[in-house]
Structure 1
Amino acid sequence: MSEIIKEATVDELITANQRNLLGFFYLTSQNAKEINYYDDEGIEGIYSPNMPVNVINRIIRTDTIEENFDDVKERVSQFYGKKGAPLFWEVWPTNSTSDVEMELKNSGFSYSHEYPAMIIKLDQVKIKELTNFEIKIVKNEYDARTLANLFQEIYQLPDAGGEDFYNTIVNSGYDSDLVSYIGYEESEPVCIATIYYHAGVAGIYNVGTKEKYCRKGYGRKITEVALLDAKKRGFEFGILQSSDQGYKVYQRMGFENQCMVQSYKK
């Protein structure tokens, strides 16, 4: 775990968000059969030919010499093509190459979607009390299997996706920089969340609730508990990358937009 960030500029915190995301995927790739990490000349991302969805087939970091970018783009495109993986290339405001968006468009990429990178000061987090709802930290293989099964069901993943997540949790240990939570309604496991301590910030991932238990505030509550645990560890900032579905919930919790991350598809 890197040194905890106490004070930082806007750009430094955006970079921390991005580095936390990359660290999370790198850790996953070390324990997964289906998710692979790409790292070449300042270009970092992930790919998974057998799971052709944008969230795990993307370039996240572009930090290369501008004069070399044309060659790098071509090499990355060829690599993903040979692997049979779709390629989504993200544009963050902290990219070293000044006009990644235009360079991508000129190379046949088209706009796909965008999402907000968000941040919260942990001293702003407050717990919303709920009845008949209990949250437990994953501490053993039985819990990890319950978590992985929920993850697979909630995100409608193939068996390989659930198994990769299970292996990541088990192999990372239960008192490490990766901590996972399960929420129970009257002993029934219904929601999940994971927090990853990396790049000086606490990153929230994989928040999800079983469909029949949605709109009860469980996703918000389990996220709040994870963030308060981060505060107890001495962290100052929590970060995440939001889906459309979770955006308003995170806003109500006190998360603020850092930037919009645009994604372009080859």
Structure 2
Amino acid sequence: MENLIVNNLFEFYKLVGTSSQFLNCTQQYCYVKAGNLSWPNIVFDLNEEQVNYQNLYDKIKANEISNKVFLLQNETIETQLLNHDFKLSSSIIGMYLDLDKATKPVNDFSTIYQVDNNTTATEFARIASKAFNYKILPSTIKPLVECQELKLFIGKHHDEYASCGMLLLDKRGISGLHMIGTLPKYRGFGLGKIMTNKLLFEAYENASQQAVLGASIAGERVYSKLGFIKQGDFKSYVV
């Protein structure tokens, strides 16, 4: 199951990078490096047998490639990164839900709107930037509207767009929940749960057998209540 989760995450980054034309892949790794110090900025899918860690370090120091290395927990790779002066910066928890063992949410999402034009894509970028506290450019989000594998949503609270989320149907038929966020001033109103249920509803509509996501420690408690099961840890290392 760990591989299903990591494959969905990597496919997500490749799709975002391809859509905005900043994906680069070598025999050693892939990376996406958006402009203006914005999201996404990440090295991923390391080839354990071929990666040259000193070269990777040097390229990051020279600002030639992205400054964050993201991977599924792997003692061999992590030891090499630490030996080459990388530092652990953050971690998330891989989680999955067997959809045939869960109840499909009721289709009652009057406050959720699909992102289908430049205006709503700009709103998505605004919400996500504030929710995750890093810059996400509208120019990165707008091309994603045309991706058939990906659905983007924003949610309202009263009269303001306040939440966001994406769902990726990957090549294996797994539905990945991504970029679930809420404006800080509207946290505590259950908007994240509403968005998560909307994405799960869409996962059922995809006829997926599993839904997967990466969760923070705080998010793990929320998703566990929805039936998600922890499966694997994902680490980020920086120079």
Is the 2:90–2:237 contact (alpha carbons within 8 Å) kept by the matching residues of 1?
Answer: yes
RMSD: 2.8
Question: 1:25-40, aligned counterparts within 5 Å?
Answer: 25-32=13-20, 36-40=22-26
Is the 1:125–1:228 contact (alpha carbons within 8 Å) kept by the matching residues of 2?
Answer: no
Structure 1 residue 258, shift from structure 2 partner: 0.9
Structure 1 residue 177, shift from structure 2 partner: 0.9
Q: 1:108 to 1:155 in 2, by over 3 A?
A: closer
Query: Which residue of structure 1 aligns with residue 83 of structure 2?
Result: 106
Query: Which residue of structure 1 aligns with residue 180 of structure 2?
Result: 207
Identity %: 19
Q: 1:82 to 1:134 in 2, by over 3 A?
A: same
Letter in 2 for 1:165: T
- Aligned partners of 2:106, 2:217: CA distance in 1, in Å? 22
Question: TM-score, length-normalised on structure 1?
Answer: 0.77
Equivalent position SS for 1:83: coil
Q: Deviations over 1:175-205 (max 9, x none)?
A: x111011212334322111101114211111
Equivalent position SS for 1:254: coil
Is the 1:19–1:199 contact (alpha carbons within 8 Å) kept by the matching residues of 2?
Answer: no
Question: TM-score, length-normalised on structure 2?
Answer: 0.84
Question: 1:117-196, aligned counterparts within 5 Å?
Answer: 117-123=94-100, 124-125=102-103, 127=105, 134-158=111-135, 161-172=136-147, 176-196=148-168
Is the 1:125–1:224 contact (alpha carbons within 8 Å) kept by the matching residues of 2?
Answer: no
Query: Which residue of structure 2 aligns with residue 6 of structure 1?
Result: none
Equivalent position SS for 1:99: helix
Q: 1:61 aligns with which of 45, 68, 90?
A: 45
- Aligned partners of 2:7, 2:223: CA distance in 1, in Å? 21
Q: 1:103 to 1:219 in 2, by over 3 A?
A: same
Q: 1:248 to 1:180 in 2, by over 3 A?
A: same
Structure 2's unaligned 5+ residue stretches are none
Aligned residues: 237
- Aligned partners of 1:238, 1:43: CA distance in 2, in Å? 26
Q: Deviations over 1:47-83 (max 9, x none)?
A: 347327xx74433222242xx44xx212222222222
Q: Deviations over 1:100-138 (max 9, x none)?
A: 12222222223333221111112314548999x622222
Equivalent position SS for 2:80: helix
Q: Which has the larger radius of gyration?
A: 1
Letter in 2 for 1:220: K
Structure 1 residue 264, shift from structure 2 partner: 2.7
Q: 1:59 to 1:207 in 2, by over 3 A?
A: same
Q: 2:209 aligns with which of 222, 230, 236?
A: 236
Q: 1:245 to 1:45 in 2, by over 3 A?
A: farther
- Aligned partners of 2:90, 2:130: CA distance in 1, in Å? 25
Q: Deviations over 1:118-161 (max 9, x none)?
A: 11112314548999x62222233333233233223333444xx2
Q: Is 1:115 aligned to 2:92, yes or no?
A: yes
- Aligned partners of 1:42, 1:84: CA distance in 2, in Å? 15
Is the 2:106–2:201 contact (alpha carbons within 8 Å) kept by the matching residues of 1?
Answer: no
Equivalent position SS for 1:115: strand
Letter in 2 for 1:78: D
- Aligned partners of 1:38, 1:234: CA distance in 2, in Å? 31
Letter in 2 for 1:23: E
Equivalent position SS for 1:239: strand
Query: Which residue of structure 2 aligns with residue 81 of structure 1?
Result: 61
